[in-house]
Structure 1
Amino acid sequence: MHTIRDKSKLLTRVRRIQGQAAALENQLAEEADCTAVLQQIAAIRGAVNGLMAAVIEGHLIDHMVNEPEQAQRQQELDAVLQVIKSYLK
């Protein structure tokens, strides 16, 4: 499974996001400039988008490209499309 194989890389991304969120919390607590807060929010969003892209890519490769059964591919496609649609709302 791709999340197990890429566990270290994915955890590194999650920890980076946690650090960015903590920095945002500090900025808000210290009443930082609005521009700095907005930049931090944009950085967090970019990091989350990168994480989502990495997981989706691994999922598509492992479960769509390498999956031998057509029925299983369709189930995996339906599941990932549902997640993508909810993410983009």
Structure 2
Amino acid sequence: MPGPLYPEQIYPNDLLKVTPWGYIVRLMHGYAKDKDAYLTRLRRIEGQVRGLQRMVAEDEYCIDVLTQVSAVTRALQSVALGLLEDHLGHCVAQAIDEGGPEAEEKVKEASAAIARLVRS
């Protein structure tokens, strides 16, 4: 049985890294073209979370706090779905086009990400 494949064996000329979960990824991500928009949205969400902290600290009405929690949750879900769409359209599609062992791994990785999103 052959040994494990290392990033430099799969894509010898690309800049690669191994994530903490053992996935091999290129340093160019699918969301790179929309990075500024994602950062803007995440900063807005950060502000919403700080607002939630203030609401709790100031003993705001429970339903008002829950309404804001719902808004933050929807905003994060929107970011997550956008990132997933970018990942499928860039990283997974590219791996499938190139074939090889990375294609199957990218599909499994995307399936696991979708499962995590569905559970949340």
Identity in percent? 27
**Which runs of 5 or more residues in structure 2 are unaligned?**
1-28
What is the Cα deviation at residue 12 of structure 1?
Answer: 0.8
2:116 aligns with 86
Counterpart of 2:19 in structure 1 is: none
1:81: Cα distance to partner? 1.3
Structure richer in helix, relative to its length: 1
Which AA in structure 1 matches 2:47?
A: G
Residue 48 (structure 1) aligned with residue 86 (structure 2): no
TM-score if structure 1 supplies the norm length? 0.88
Runs (5+) with no aligned partner, structure 1? none
Confirm or deny: 8 A CA contact 1:2 1:58 kept in the other structure.
yes
In 2, Cα distance between the equivalents of 1:64 and 1:82?
13
2:49 pairs with 1:21: yes
SS in 2 for 1:85: helix
Length, aligned pairs only: 89
Query: Where in structure 1 do 4 or more consecutive aligned residues deviate above 3 Å?
Result: none
CA RMSD of superposed structures (Å):
1.4
From the CA coordinates, give the structure whose radius of gyration is larger. 2
Which structure carries more strand by proportion?
2
**1:69 counterpart (52, 77, 98):** 98
* Greater relative contact order, per chain length (Cα 8 Å cut-off, separation 6+): 1
